[in-house]
Homo-oligomer: A and B are copies of this chain.
Amino acid sequence: MVPDAIPALKSHHPGKDILAETPAYDLIELFFFAYRDFVSDPDRILDEYGFGRAHHRVLHFVSRNPGLTIAELLDILRITKQSLNRVLKELIEKDFIESRMGTSDRRQRLLFATPQGRELALKLAKLQTRRIMRALSGMEPEAKDAVSRYLLSLIDPDSSAHVKHLVFGSEET
């Protein structure tokens, strides 16, 4: 059923080339399916509020990082300010996020989730946590650490320090 998809790797040089270049189809495809289902949980709830996945991402990171600036948020999401502005404006209008003028630099906007915003963000995070916990249950305790290190290592090395700081706070390695 599955075709010989790696003809170029059959004959030639021995050694690690073969292993290094043999596609890791299992991890590629499992990642796709896992992500597909993982992000689908919040969708139903977001619908009730008239929000989409883009709103979820913004609300999540603002709720997790009170006082986040526009520039920092753009760097996290890797989208343009025009794209961000569209969903952010809606979140502010519907009172899920509040934007205050920066104190030290008054050009900046500091973003904060409102109580309503924090509540929704928490609700969605719990939903995803339930799925994560179900997956981790029945696995050895070291498994969670392995998964965490794997995901971190998948990230672009350029960003990994930044992500580490964002996710774990000011810890090292």
Contacts and interface: CB of A to CB of B under 8 A. Distances in A.
Interface of A: 1-3, 5-6, 8, 20-38, 57, 60, 63-67, 78, 113, 118, 121-122, 125-126, 128-136, 138-140, 142-144, 146-156, 159, 163, 166-169
Assembly of this chain: how many copies?
2
Contacts of A138: 153
B154 A135 contact: yes
B64 A2 contact: yes
Contact of A128 (B5, B22, B28): B28
6 contacts: A3-B66, A24-B129, A28-B125, A29-B64, A31-B151, A143-B146
Given A3-B63, A34-B151, A35-B31, A24 B132 contact: yes
